[in-house]
């Protein structure tokens, strides 16, 4: 292909006559010596100049990716600290003001053993493996490798916090890619996300990235016996009027219909606090589930007197491990709003699941739905009920 382009360009610049040989024949014979060798010095120079111009039309491993690779280094261990672009919010019902709850994840990855350790900065829980978040796992294991192998390519340019950045892409699966915004000045990554045929996933901001030849300092994990979790077991379906008695005297609900959805089921649950090591039951409580549904979607409400089964609640004696967002129990008059799988948790083929959490008078409530609008509306409605509950 390149030879054909060279031939076409030479023929355009130097029109052939019947007595002139084919340019490819000339180029092939030019290195064989002979009496006419000197005649082709000027032509060879023209060929070389044209080759530079024509080859520039073909993609190649650019100096940009070389500089991006040099910016993070070639050490065995890769250290990355990221924050999510869509953090958990604490929303005040009365003022409608919100503030973000910091959600950071640190990972140390051994590129030779292909094993990572992740933790939340400032806490002692450490998880082996890069965790269930595919975008983060794919970035830390694949970004440097793609730069080194020359398998990344430029797809565009963006502006990130007043920094001009080049958007690199590399393949992560049959129909999945990683997109990385790389600062044009420092050549360091600013953010990354997974992209599939259905669109881009959740974005992660890169706060820090570095490499080292030696294993970095990793927080000492808590003993396995300290990790507490919870589970729910449905005991029975009941009429919604029996929910309060089943929970323990206090319960809230949205009525038989809410935002185009109808109450489809009411259930009493057994909530168990367990130690993860051996899954040993430690305590039991009662809870309830209210499930709304319809053509427009779904909405679930969970109510408990003890937050044992709440993945995102953190309280004394109950650390949360891994990539779960660790947030405090909200104060009365507030609720937490988060999206546990926005962009599918970097798998955009799945729907986002919005979640609100609140508490009052010894009752812990969680609301979940695909619709952010419905979740906020339900949280505001239930907050009023919780505030008026004696």
User: Vertex 364, ends 362 and 370: CA angle to 5°?
Assistant: 165
**At 110, is the secondary structure helix, strand, or coil?**
strand
191 in Cβ contact with 202 (< 8 Å):
no
Can you tell me the distance from the alpha carbon of 109 to that of 129, in angstroms, rounded to the nearest whole number?
8
pLDDT for res 307: 61
> What number of other Cβ atoms are within 10 A of residue 316's Cβ?
5
What is the C-alpha to C-alpha distance for residues 315 and 199, in angstroms, rounded to an integer?
A: 37
Where are the chain's structural domains? 2-55, 63-87+101-212, 224-388
Kind and range of the H or E run holding 303: strand 297-304
What pLDDT is stored for residue 273 in this prediction?
Answer: 62
Handedness of CA 254, 368, 333, 308 (dihedral sign): positive
Yes or no: say if 141 and 114 are a contact pair by the CB < 8 Å rule. yes
Contacts of 215 (CB under 8 A, 6+ apart): 77, 108, 110
Q: Taking the mean position of all CA atoms in its chain, how far away is CA 230?
A: 25
Q: Tokens standing for 246? A: 């089943």
CATH 3.40.50.1820 describes domain 63-87+101-212: no
Structure token digits, residue 388: 């008026």
DSSP label at residue 315: B
Q: Under a CB-based contact definition with an 8 Å cutoff, are residues 356 and 373 in contact?
A: no
Give the pLDDT of residue 346: 41
Q: What is the pLDDT along the chain (390 residues), one digit of tens a residue?
A: 444 444 454 444 444 443 344 433 433 444 444 444 333 334 444 434 444 343 333 333 458 999 999 999 999 999 999 987 666 788 887 788 888 776 788 899 999 998 888 887 766 566 666 555 678 888 988 999 999 999 999 999 999 888 899 999 999 878 889 999 999 999 999 999 988 877 787 788 999 999 999 999 888 765 554 454 555 566 667 777 777 777 776 778 888 999 999 999 888 877 666 555 555 556 666 778 899 999 889 999 988 776 654 443 443 333 333 333 345 566 677 888 887 656 443 444 446 788 888 877 778 888 999 899 999 999 888 877 766 555
Signed CA dihedral, 47, 53, 56, 58: sign only: negative
CA distance 57 to 13: 19
pTM, to two decimals: 0.57
Q: Are 68 and 187 in contact (CB under 8 A)?
A: yes
Q: What local confidence, expressed as pLDDT, does residue 70 receive?
A: 94
Cα dihedral 190, 194, 200, 203, rounded to 10, equals -40
Q: What is the DSSP letter of 2?
A: H
């Amino acid at each position: 292909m390149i030879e054909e382009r060279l031939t076409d360009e030479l023929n355009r610049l130097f029109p052939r006559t019947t007595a002139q040989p084919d340019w490819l024949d000339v180029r092939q014979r030019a290195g064989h010596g002979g009496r006419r060798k000197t005649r082709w010095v000027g032509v060879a120079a023209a060929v070389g100049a044209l080759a530079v111009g024509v080859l520039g039309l073909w993609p190649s491993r650019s100096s940009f990716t070389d500089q991006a690779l040099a910016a993070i280094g070639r050490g065995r261990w890769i250290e990355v600290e990221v924050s999510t672009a869509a953090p958990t919010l604490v929303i005040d019902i009365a003022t409608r003001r919100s503030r973000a709850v910091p959600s950071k994840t640190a990972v140390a990855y051994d590129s030779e053993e292909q094993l990572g350790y992740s933790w939340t900065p400032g806490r002692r829980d450490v998880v082996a493996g890069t965790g269930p978040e595919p975008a983060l796992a794919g970035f830390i294991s694949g970004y440097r490798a793609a730069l080194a192998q020359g398998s990344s390519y430029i797809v565009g340019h963006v502006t990130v916090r007043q920094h001009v950045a080049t958007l690199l892409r590399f393949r992560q699966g049959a129909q999945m890619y990683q997109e990385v915004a790389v600062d044009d000045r420092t050549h360091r990554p600013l953010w990354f996300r997974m992209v599939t045929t259905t669109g881009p996933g959740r974005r992660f901001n890169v706060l820090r990235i570095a490499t080292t030849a030696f294993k970095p300092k990793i927080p000492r994990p808590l003993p396995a016996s300290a990790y507490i979790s919870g589970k729910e077991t449905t005991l029975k379906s009941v009429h919604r009027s029996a929910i309060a008695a089943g929970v323990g005297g206090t319960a809230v609900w949205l009525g038989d219909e809410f935002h185009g959805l109808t109450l489809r089921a009411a259930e009493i649950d057994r909530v168990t606090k367990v130690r993860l090591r051996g899954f040993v039951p430690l305590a039991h409580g009662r809870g309830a589930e209210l499930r709304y549904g319809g053509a427009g979607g779904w909405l679930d409400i969970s109510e408990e007197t003890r937050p044992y089964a709440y993945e995102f609640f953190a309280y004394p004696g109950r650390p949360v491990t891994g990539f779960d967002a660790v947030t405090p129990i909200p104060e009365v008059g507030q609720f937490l709003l988060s999206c546990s799988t926005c962009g599918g948790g970097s798998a955009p083929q799945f729907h986002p699941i919005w979640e609100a959490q609140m508490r009052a008078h010894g009752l812990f409530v969680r609301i979940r739905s695909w619709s952010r609008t419905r979740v906020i509306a339900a949280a505001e409605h239930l907050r009023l009920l919780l505030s008026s509950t004696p």
